[in-house]
Each structure stands twice: as structure tokens, then as C-alpha cells.
Amino acid sequence: MHLLRADTHADLDPLLWNTTCLGGAEDMHGDLSLVGQQSPARIGVSWLAKGFRPFFFGAATHAVLSIPAWIAVLSGVPRITPTLTLGWHAHEMVFGFAGAVIAGFLLTAVSNWTNRPTLEGAWLAALFATWLGARLVPWLPGVSGVVALVLDVAFWAGLALACARPILAVRSTRNLGFIALLLGFLVACTISHASRLGFPLAAVGPGHLLGLDLVVVAILVMTGRVVPMFTRNATRVASIAGQPALDRAAVAGMVLLTLLDLAQGPAWIQAVVAALVGALALLRARRWGAQHTRGNALLWPLHLGNAWIGLGLILRAVSALVPAVPPSVALHAITVGGIGLLCFSMMTRVTLGHTGRMLAVPRLMVWAAHALSLAVVVRVLGPLLAPSVLLVTLALSALLWSLAFASYLFVYAPALLSPRVDGKAG
């Protein structure tokens, strides 16, 4: 077992972090006490007691199934419907997988920050059903893509409303940025669907690219506050510290890159901005204490995920200047490496913390983190080093990715589906 030593309440609650760029979190106490026996959930069915429960379960299931399905399509397996194209794959990884993780995180975090409920019970089930329905529609022959559009739009609108109500009710101006972020996802999702349905959107960049940019914005904010705090509290190394000025610069640069992508600005300007943001993402981490996290499976994937975000953005600039480096290399450094590792790590930590368990992971989850890390390397380097066997490297990366998230489900599905072990609500 790998145990994360917790010294302060800030480290105990994985949803407690100040977001000075998008908004700050009000102080809340952590709740990781471990009690020997379970008691009945206080809010309806346990699975619907808190937003992270259904959405993390859905995100992990989506991760396990969707990537192998995409590899099967690339391998020539007959398609169930003609909608399973590259556009579907890109859309689903941003608005399906990452969207579920964002929903689970924010529905839980906003409730903690404001001390007011977001969604529970039947309303949470309804929101999850809209997300799930949008994922299933492309697999149903004869069902119009408009149905998926309506469901996806309803999901993002419902999530924005659920988070906005408590934030506005307590007048938490520091958290208004999250509402803007969710509305941005709503716009990006709509553009993505409209493009796939054939609506002319020549003046607007691809919706899934806009959505991906917004995910990176959120990640830059989150990692800047969470990673150094968690690392310092766990390792007790006093010199570990965040660098707010560089965090703000990185987020501001990423917002600029998002706007450039939306407006389809000059490629060379996009490349320069991407390189600068990538460099800032890496530079700000120089005092985060990554060298002290070896052997701690709750920490090193966070550091590695941030590194892949920075490297991926730099590779995006390189691919724009060097034809031998395909854009997919940069794309998957960001998505598989940055988003995949960070979502995996935060899902693990939040599940432990908010089901009343200690911050300890079994050996299977350590291997899962390594498998996911290897999946990134294979996916990024495969097209460069072994282009003649591209499908083989893609299949290997997909297998490692799916094994990692299948391990999460195997270990933590019981925690997601059962009451907290400490008898508290949530």
C-alpha cells in the first residue's frame, strides 16, 4: 500500500484549492476519517448522493470502452452506424470522457465551496442520463445526430445551471469563472455537433478543439494550486511552493490560444503562443518538488500529467513548423498524457477522500498509473519511430489506457456505489 501522509486540512480535502485565475475556493475542512463500518446513506441512493459518484463511474467506463471501439473502427471492423468517424472520436474524448470528469469534480467541489447542494438524487440522475444518452446515440442505427446534439446541450446547460445557482446564491464572485468556463463548453459542444451535422461553420474553428483548449485552461488552473499544495503537505518539504504569477501567465496565454483557435488566427501566431504557454506550464513547476514524489502513486502522476501538458503545447508549435512531426503527436501528448493522467489521478484522490477513506492506493492502482504512463509514450512516439506499424502501436496504447481505467473501476466502483465508510452524507 502507498499511503499519502496528510498533515493539514488543505491536503485532506482534494476539492479544497484556491483558483486565483478562475476564482477561489472558500475554506472547508477535509473529511478523510476512516471508520470501520458503513452506515446508510443520508441522501437517497448512495450512487446519487454526490456528483462525483455517477460521473466518475461513467467516465471510467467510457474510457475503458470507447478507445478500443475506435481502434476497432480503424481496423476495419464494420461500423454499427456511419457516425463513428474521427469527428466522433475527438468529440467523445473531450465532451464525453473529460466532460464527465469535469462534471463529477465541479458538482462536488461547488457544493463544498458554497456549503450548498448542487445536484443530488433524482436531479443528479437526470443530468447523468443526458450525458449517457448523448454517448449512446451514435451507436443507435437510424437515430438522428440532432438527438445527440440536444442531449449534449442539455447536459452542459444543466451542469452550468447546477453550479451557477449555489455560486450566485452566496455571491461567490471568485468562483464566477467556473460558470464562464461551463458556458464555453456549451458553446464548443454545440459547434462540434453542428459541424458534424453539416452546418456551415467556416468562420469557426473545430468545436472539439475549442473544447480541448477549455479543458487545458481548467487543468492549468487546477494543477497550479493543487499539485504544489498536495506535494508539500504529503512530503513535508517546506521549499515546495506554487508560483501564482507564472500560473496566471500560463492561464492567460491559454485563454489567448483558445481565442486564436476559435477565430482560426494565423498559424504562426498560434504556434508561438502554444510554445510560450507550454514553456510557462513547465517553468512554473520547477519548485513543485517532483523529485520528492517517486514511489507515491497519488502524486507523481499529477506532476507527469502537467509535464505532458507543457510538452504537448510545445510539440504543437513544433508540428506547425516541422512537417515530419504530425499534429497528432502534440494532440495525444496533451490528451492521453496530460488530460488522461490528471483525470485518472484526481478521480482516484477524490473517490478516496469523499467516500471517507484514507489516501492509500493498492498495488494494482500503482501498476495502473504506470500502464497509463506507458500508453502515453507508445501513443506519442509510435507515429514517429514506427509509422509502418501505426495500427499496432495504437492498439497497444489503447490496451494500456483501458487497463488503467478498468483497474480504477475494479478497485473503486464499490466505493462509488456504496455509502461513505464514516457514515457522513455524500
| Cα(381)–Cα(333) distance, integer angstroms | 10
345 contacts: CB under 8 Å, gap ≥ 6: 298, 301, 302, 305, 369
Q: What are phi and psi of 3, to 5 degrees?
A: -105, 130
Contact 11, 230 (CB under 8 A): yes
How would you class 181 by CB atoms within 10 Å of its CB: exposed for 0-12, middle for 13-18, buried for 19 or more? buried
Give the pLDDT confidence score for residue 197 in this predicted structure.
80
Residue type, 150: V
Give the pLDDT confidence score for residue 103 in this predicted structure.
96
- Residue in this structure with the C-alpha cell 457514515, named with its chain if needed: 423
Give the pLDDT confidence score for residue 138 in this predicted structure.
87
HEC profile for 324-336?
Answer: CCCHHHHHHHHHH
- Residue in this structure with the C-alpha cell 478562475, named with its chain if needed: 22
DSSP letter, residue 47: G
User: Could you state, in order of their start, the residue ranges of all structural domains in the chain?
Assistant: 2-417
Residue type, 158: G
CA dihedral 229, 18, 283, 4 (to 10 degrees): 20
Collapsed DSSP state (helix, strand, coil) of residue 43: coil
CA-to-CA separations, 197 to 210, 221, 370, in angstroms, rounded:
17, 33, 39
| Cα(181)–Cα(217) distance, integer angstroms | 9
Whether the pTM exceeds 0.85: the reply is yes
Residue length of the chain: 426
Choose among 53, 52, 8: nearest CA to 27: 8
| Cα(124)–Cα(1) distance, integer angstroms | 33
- Computed on alpha carbons and rounded to an integer, the radius of gyration of the chain in Å comes to 20
Tens digits of pLDDT across the chain (426 residues): 333 333 333 343 444 433 333 433 333 333 333 333 333 444 347 888 899 999 999 999 999 999 999 898 888 776 666 667 778 889 999 999 999 999 999 999 898 888 898 998 999 999 999 999 999 998 888 888 899 999 999 999 999 999 999 999 998 887 888 899 999 999 999 998 888 887 765 444 578 899 999 999 999 998 998 899 999 988 999 999 999 999 999 999 999 999 999 888 889 999 999 999 999 999 999 999 999 999 899 999 999 999 999 999 999 999 998 888 899 999 999 999 999 999 999 999 999 988 988 888 899 999 999 999 999 999 999 988 888 888 999 999 999 999 999 999 999 999 999 988 887 777
422 pairs with which residues across the strands? none
Contact 272, 320 (CB under 8 A): no
Q: Which CATH number fits domain 2-417: 3.40.1780.10, 3.30.70.3340, 3.40.50.300, 1.20.210.10?
A: 1.20.210.10
313 contacts: CB under 8 Å, gap ≥ 6: 216, 274, 275, 277, 278, 281, 330, 334
Give the pLDDT confidence score for residue 140 in this predicted structure.
86
Give the pLDDT confidence score for residue 11 in this predicted structure.
40
Give the pLDDT confidence score for residue 42 in this predicted structure.
44
| Cα(299)–Cα(296) distance, integer angstroms | 6
